[in-house]
Structure 1
Amino acid sequence: MEWLSLNCDEEPVYQSQRMDLYQKKADELIESDHAYKCYCTQEELDAMRRGQVERGENPRYDGRCRGLKEPKSDQFVVRFKSPETGEVTISDHLFGNVLVQNEELDDFILLRSNGTPTYHFAVVIDDNDTNISHVIRGDDHLKNTAKHIHLFNALGYPLPKFVHLPMILGPDGSRLSKRHGAMDILEYKQQGFLAEAMLNYLVRLGWSSGDQEIFTIDELIEKFDLTNLNKSSARFDLEKLQWVNQQHISKLSNTKLAELLMQLASEHNIQLPSIEKMQSFSEAYKSRVVSLKDLLTYADKLFSDNFIVDAEAAKKHLKSSIEEPLKDLASVFEATTWEPTSIHEAIDDTCKKHNIGFGKIGQPLRVAVTGITISPPIDITLTLVEKELVIQRLKSAIEYIENR
């Protein structure tokens, strides 16, 4: 939540500090005949469920302790006395009125035998005490909401508004799970996704504002409301997330992007040049990557002291036919002013001297200096590396050609 900048407006409520309140509310429900103590052992519950399964019934608590007047032991749970007939209406923002038959609800537990509250019990009390106006959660909680409405009513609390959102699906249309590659949210941070992009993508999965795809956090805050929520489930699309991330990276200032790169490099024990150099690198490379991790990979390749040329790229592009042009270029670079226009002119003059096109020398030069076949325009790329280092790498490439 902190990574996504989803900060609390108020101090968090810790349930562990409210145990006396939960016990008090449970006692009140017992006193008003909305709850009761259940003394069933685990063995009794297991036998009950086995019998129900054998008879083809849905396993559920059968209410056998409902009418007990005297305590059977000092070990018990507190169960809610759910209505056995009739129905409960869930008024939902997306799905309208949803009817749930009370006979589908069993007498669910409010307090466990150790006195701790269940989710169903604590969340209703906490929502009321913190003045929650809207309960927004997945539509897999619809039946739970029926239980909660009974609890709200039994406790004399006003009902909040309910909004049940469709579940996110995997690419195959089934519920998103680990088998689809779903990860903890912080795993996406480790994969190089920006927090702003992740939040942008997740919000757009279930909501829209016209045709706009890319939002800043401030724009999401300004434009988000409940009127444009999607009723149908959306499929998680990694390629779309990568595209959204790329859009956010390209819009990020070079200063901020360089700071993020330096931080990520530190976490991976990767040495990078100065922040000023990384700002220039960010400007050159940011339109070519879909994640910070990709950007760091390019930076590490370009600036590493342990520079390695990709073997396949060298085999394909560093051939004897380009040896003399590279030798001349290494010599010309000695006196070249190290900025894009002068570098471009030096390459162009070398091409004219050897009667070859710019492309004939551009790719071998790129492989020699970056180690790979992909980079921004070569004149811009070369300015990112110190002149002496470029000449050194050219000489290494020439040596490779001579030894083939």
Structure 2
Amino acid sequence: MQNTQKIITRFAPSPTGFLHIGGARTALFNYLFAKHHGGAFKLRIEDTDRERSTPEAVAAILEGLTWLGLEWDGEAVSQYDNAPRHHAVVDELIARGKAFKCYCSPDEVEALRETAFAEGRALRSPWRDRDPSEAPADAPYVVRFRASDEGVTLHDAVQGEVKWAAKEFDDLVLLRADGNPTYNLAVVVDDHDMGVTHIIRGDDHLVNGARQAQIYAALDWDLPQFAHIPLIHGPDGKKLSKRHGALGVEAYRDMGYLPEGMRNYLLRLGWAHGDQELFSDDEMVQAFSLSGLNKAPGRLDFDKMAHVNAHHMRLADDQRLFDLLMAHLADRDDLRLDEITKAWVLRAMPILKARAKTIPELADQAEFMLKPRPFVLTGKLAKPLQDDGAQRMARLRAVFADHQDWSEDALSEALKTFAEAEEVGFGKIGQPLRACLTGGSPAPDMGIVLAILGQDETLARLDDQLNSSPGTGQ
């Protein structure tokens, strides 16, 4: 391969469901490798299975890639639409003597396979050397590839040099009896026609790489560089399943992860660049190389996923996070979502986002601002207002009513001064005040809460609780 050749990668999912997290990682690796080399990242939908391939599944894959920010170059290619080209290549292979029509019935094939297995060799069709004129009239047939009697060696960018003996490869079916091309034929033709130079995919396709290499050689086509990456495993080291989190990327979107957080996390599942864990998009593109791909499977780790996402939450634009938060809360009829509370949330976003790993956690942090008044304190929340707690809050209310500087620092200092005047520890002030202002919802330091809510709302929330507490004089 010449150094001047343009790098072209591809992602080629089968549209039989959502964009699986493993597929998303494969797409990311292909995208980054292409962008690192100034090449092209292409998308092909392998939709030859017409019963399982649905428009809804295609839409889900496109939506998942778009959400992840993996923009492909050019139009997405439909493998099904390329069927005439696949047939033409089969005709060429037959003309070259590299493929043949096999008229064996399914029962005959099964008997041949059992015999070959017993003899420790690959299946060889009796029609590979028979004259086609001997074929029965109008009999159904498949087209098979004339497998080589020599072994196959594949030079893989991840797995290294991998060798197979000839006995491991049957005379591969290229066209089924119904005329539909098989996977290995269609993939080779499409990758060649799309100009694909590098194929990064799961190592469950490693043996397919060997089969495809034989077809490339039979056609005198340049073999792409293969890079077969280990599959993602669950936290227990076993094959990833739905119980581990083998979900579509839209599920992670709905769980409140940011696309840049998912890109960063998926990048490190089977790839490394020294000890660096956190990457910007530019850093990903600049650093990505095939040499960083690991032979060991990556393990899904939700704690690390949350840690990475928290980093990107802190870097995210406040207005963007606000919009995502409002969309997340759109169906909540138990919250006060008006222009006043929305202004509080947006103003507080720099503080809130530093305390949240996901959008739902951001919602938890914002809830104290969105609780409809008055809220009722019961149980442990009401306890700090018992005894002299309520009277102390009444005296603090009087301080706040006359307070002029409603900034965080000034309010924090006022609370400290009040605690000293009351000759009590700060907990005797902070606990009842937090209950009155937040109703028990997560919230930052009291000086920040006071500054966010403003003087009028602070006094109103104190009044709500004091009016319901006996012996406060309210």
Interval of TM-score (by shorter of Structure 1 and Structure 2)? 0.7 to 0.9
Which residue of 2 is the match for residue 156 of structure 1?
220
Following superposition, the deviation at residue 238 of structure 1 comes to 0.9
User: Contact conserved, 1:93 with 1:161, CA < 8 A, in 2?
Assistant: yes
What is the identity, as a one-letter code, of the residue corresponding to 1:80? F
Q: Are residue 63 (structure 1) and residue 130 (structure 2) matched?
A: no
Which residue of 2 is the match for residue 398 of structure 1?
466
CA distance in 2, matches of 1:263, 1:46: 57
Which residue of 2 is the match for residue 289 of structure 1?
356
CA separation of 1:253/1:103 partners in 2, compared to 1, >3 Å: closer, same or farther? same
CA separation of 1:238/1:10 partners in 2, compared to 1, >3 Å: closer, same or farther? same
Say which structure, 1 or 2, has more relative contact order (CA 8 Å, 6+ apart): 2
Which residue of 2 is the match for residue 252 of structure 1?
316
Residue of structure 2 aligned with 1:78, choices 116, 137, 143: 143
Residue of structure 2 aligned with 1:128, choices 164, 172, 192: 192
1:181-196 aligned at under 5 Å gives the runs: 181-196=245-260
Q: Are residue 299 (structure 1) and residue 363 (structure 2) matched?
A: no
SS in 2 for 1:180: coil
TM-score by length of 1: 0.87
Which residue of 1 is the match for residue 239 of structure 2?
175
Following superposition, the deviation at residue 149 of structure 1 comes to 0.2
CA distance in 2, matches of 1:391, 1:58: 86
1:242-281 aligned at under 5 Å gives the runs: 242-266=306-330, 271=337, 273=339, 276-281=343-348
Structure 1: 5+ residue stretches without partners: none
Structure 2: 5+ residue stretches without partners: 1-64
TM-score by length of 2: 0.75
1:333-372 aligned at under 5 Å gives the runs: 333-337=400-404, 338-372=406-440
Following superposition, the deviation at residue 103 of structure 1 comes to 1.3
Any idea what the Cα deviations from partners look like across 1:113-144, whole Å, max 9, x if unmatched?
A: 44332221111111111111111111121111
CA separation of 1:319/1:114 partners in 2, compared to 1, >3 Å: closer, same or farther? farther
Between stretches 374-383 and 134-143, larger displacement belongs to 374-383
CA distance in 1, matches of 2:142, 2:379: 69
Which residue of 2 is the match for residue 111 of structure 1?
175
Residue of structure 1 aligned with 2:157, choices 73, 81, 93: 93
CA distance in 2, matches of 1:63, 1:306: 80
Residue of structure 2 aligned with 1:37, choices 71, 87, 101: 101
Following superposition, the deviation at residue 310 of structure 1 comes to 7.3
What is the identity, as a one-letter code, of the residue corresponding to 1:351? A
Q: Aligned residue pairs: how many?
A: 400
Any idea what the Cα deviations from partners look like across 1:175-230, whole Å, max 9, x if unmatched?
A: 22212133211211111111111111111122222222111111111121222222
1:39-54 aligned at under 5 Å gives the runs: 39=103
CA separation of 1:392/1:157 partners in 2, compared to 1, >3 Å: closer, same or farther? same
CA distance in 2, matches of 1:335, 1:288: 32
SS in 2 for 1:117: coil
Between stretches 313-322 and 147-156, larger displacement belongs to 313-322
Percent identity over the alignment is 35
Following superposition, the deviation at residue 91 of structure 1 comes to 0.5
Residue of structure 1 aligned with 2:207, choices 117, 121, 143: 143
Residue of structure 2 aligned with 1:208, choices 252, 255, 272: 272
SS in 2 for 1:6: coil
Following superposition, the deviation at residue 15 of structure 1 comes to 1.7
CA separation of 1:114/1:281 partners in 2, compared to 1, >3 Å: closer, same or farther? farther
User: Contact conserved, 2:382 with 2:435, CA < 8 A, in 1?
Assistant: no
What is the identity, as a one-letter code, of the residue corresponding to 1:336? H
SS in 1 for 2:200: strand
Following superposition, the deviation at residue 28 of structure 1 comes to 1.5
